[in-house]
Amino acid sequence: MLTLFAVLMVVAGVVLAGLAAYVAWRRESRMGWSLAVLLVAVAWWGLAYAVELSVDDVAVKSRWGDLKYVGILALAPAWLVFVLQYTGRGSRVTRRLLAVLAVEPILALTLLAVPATHDLVRFYPPSAATEDLPIVQVGPAFWAILVYNNLLLVGATTMFVISMVRLARHYRRLAGVLLAVALLPWAANLLHNFAVGWFARIDLTPFAFTVTGGVLVWGLFHERLVDLAPLARSAVLDSMADGVFVLEPFGRIVDVNPAGAALTRASRAGLLGRRLEDVFPGTDVTGDGRAELTLNDTPHDRRTFDVSHRHLSDATGRPAGDLVVLHEITQRVRDRDRLQRVLAEKSRTAAALSASMIPPVLPAVAGIELASTYEPAGDGSEVGGDFLDVFGLDPQTWAFMLGDVSGKGAEAAAVSAAARYTLRALADPDRGPAEIVADVNAKLLAQTDVERHCTLIFGYLRPDDRGTSVSLTLAGHHPPLVLRATGEVDEVGRLGTALALFDDCELYDTTLELAPGEVLCAFTDGLIEARRKSNMFGSRRVAELLRRHGDLPVDELAALICEAVRTFHGDQLQDDVALLLIRASTTPDPEAVRPDDRPGSRPAG
């Protein structure tokens, strides 16, 4: 029996020492250190008591009995400090308080260390040498020590319980559990000290404390002394505006927050056990990933929700259920729809403005084949600054223009319109293109107050039976290309000053002849500056296309060039592309008209 009790004390000491080491290793809070001290104190108590029980020599037995008081006397102060720290009163744990708490243990250990006062605390009677489990006798100082330490324990435990009872019901249950495990070693100690039955011969307090210490350590580091997570999660879920549904593995609702119940117009109790597909019929709310759910509260009040579906699993990775969250995005969807309508309207406006810069159909001109194309930048939702036109001046002369205003948007469109219609108004076959464009420059400077410059090709076409005579001027614009009958491709024109930059601009007229079958290709910089990584499409590629496919009808040739630049750059161009092809022909177009025969043509002279 004696050996069994000694083994129990050793086991208690080892377990408590292990718990103390675990607490010290975790070091997650200051209260962890006070709990570690408490556990070390009880572990020392148990180990010293095990030695006391196992030795036969009374003097050695008495010495180990005295040494166990190091743990006994440290227990109550350590418990008080732990409670103060845990209940939010850590600021009261000062050096002064620790010094005061150290006074009683020091005095008691001093009494035990001094032979003259030793027996005031405890002693073995002479009969102890002949007994297996002798009863230790105590002196008057022992009772003072007992009362003092029990007052500390009672005070600290009462403080802990009262603090917990004042909080939520969950804390009250915790207080009851902790009170029960605290009473276990306390009861064992009181039974021993008051010599009740066989407890007079054996002190089971250290062994009983293994249960208390285990609960405290488990609660502090695994359950945080109170499982706050369910309380916190419940509070968060109940206050969430999102509807949250928790499903068991077979798709039935096992929990729902108030917001989710409100969406269904049913009570929480009425939803439990139902399948979510039945609550929201005709919708795929349990599909993997994300989806959108639309609910019609009234015919005129549609609510849209983003559905997030997540599979839940347990610690082993096995399916445990599903979590479905409905986050309302009604306003976002309305804003998105409104934005789409605005963008659609913007695209229609841009298309209309761009169309006003590009004639829908070019005139049919005797002796000349004409083709044009316009490709907007991006998705076509933004107004560009490119424009072109061909119109009659007199029975022998047609004017053509192709220009590019810097920037985009309404301001660029306004400058494009001003340039185009000013050229139409000022064009005169008796004056050279450079002179006309100089007048347009003066008008643009006077009419526009925005910093927008314009590059331009403007010229005249005079077809006859030998081909077409072309005179043109370049206002800061890339020279057009001419495909000759020999297959050579040349740049033509002398570069002058762009419009709307300077009062005095330098412009030059250039005259050339297009033999039958020869093609003049004018374009804006969006064509040759289209990029694939660091490479530009360039005029060399345009020239190569003209050489290879110059015998195609001009409308097919224009479409082929634009398709080539889109293939090179990608579907959405960075800049607008305007292209005008002019081919001299000796075969009159049966539908061709003279300038003065066209409705709206400028009268001759």
Per-residue model confidence (pLDDT) at position 497: 95
Reported in sequence order, the residue ranges of 317-426 that DSSP labels E, i.e. its strands, are 319-328, 368-375, 386-394, 397-405
Instruction: Locate 268 and state its tokens.
Output: 């929480």
356 pLDDT higher than 70? no
Residue 480 burial (CB count, 10 A): 26
Q: Could you tell me the pTM of the whole model?
A: 0.48
- Given a cut of 50, whether residue 504 has pLDDT beyond it is yes
Between 145 and 178, the more confident residue is 145
CA atoms lying within 13 Å on the CB side of residue 334? 8
Give how far Cα 476 sits from Cα of 78, 537, 541, 587, Å. 91, 20, 21, 34
Q: Distance (Å, rounded) from C-alpha 475 to C-alpha 106?
A: 104
* SS3 assignment for 50-62: HHHHHCCCHHHHH
Q: Which of these ranges, 85-89, 198-202, 515-519, has the smallest mean pLDDT?
A: 198-202
CA distance 335 to 105: 73
pLDDT band at residue 518 using 50, 70 and 90 as cut-offs: very high
CA dihedral sign of residues 80, 86, 88, 90:
positive
Q: Are 257 and 243 in contact (CB under 8 A)?
A: yes
Q: Mean pLDDT across the chain, nearest whole number?
A: 81
Q: pLDDT: is 338 or 96 the higher one?
A: 96
Q: Which of 188-197, 273-282, 356-365 has the lowest mean pLDDT?
A: 188-197
d(CA 461, CA 392): 9
Whole-angstrom Cα distance, residue 505 to residue 537?
30
From 544, 529, 527, select the one nearest 579 (Cα to Cα).
527
- Tell me: pLDDT of 129 over 60: yes
pLDDT of residue 380: 64
Does position 24 have pLDDT exceeding 70, yes or no? no
CB distance 139 to 124 below 8 Å: no
More confident call, 533 vs 401? 401
Residue 221: band (very low, low, confident or very high) from pLDDT cuts 50, 70, 90: low
What does the pLDDT average to over 376-403?
Answer: 87
Total count of residues recorded for the chain:
605
Distance CA 210, CA 196 (A): 22
Q: Give the pLDDT confidence score for residue 185 in this predicted structure.
A: 74
338 has pLDDT over 90 = no
Q: What does residue 540 show for φ and ψ, rounded to 5 degrees?
A: -65, -40
Q: What is the DSSP letter of 286?
A: T
Is residue 339 pLDDT above 90, yes or no? Answer: no
Q: Write the pLDDT tens digit of every residue in 431-455.
A: 999 999 999 999 988 876 667 789 9
527 and 542 Cβ atoms separated by less than 8 Å:
yes
Please count the other Cβ atoms lying within 10 Å of the Cβ belonging to residue 212.
23
Domains of the chain (ranges plus CATH)? 2-226 (1.20.1070), 231-328 (3.30.450.20), 358-597 (3.60.40.10)
Burial class (CB in 10 A: 0-12, 13-18, 19+), 475: buried
The 3-state DSSP class for residue 209 equals helix
Residue 20's SS3 state is helix
Q: Which of 87-96, 105-114, 144-153, 315-324 is most confident?
A: 105-114
The 10 Å Cβ neighbour count of residue 330 is 14
- Residues 542-554: tens digit of each pLDDT: 999 999 999 999 9
Strands lying side by side in the sheet with 253-256 = 253-256, 243-247, 319-328, 301-313, 289-298
Q: Would you say residue 345 has pLDDT above 60?
A: yes
Angle, in degrees to the nearest 10, between helices 205-217 and 30-54:
160
**Residues linked to residue 471 through DSSP beta bridges, in sequence order:** 460, 511
> What is the Cα–Cα distance from 206 to 48, expressed in whole angstroms?
10
Q: Which of 98-107, 168-177, 191-200, 320-329 has the highest mean pLDDT?
A: 98-107
**455 close to 476: Cβ distance less than 8 angstroms:** yes
- Average pLDDT on 352-378 reads 83
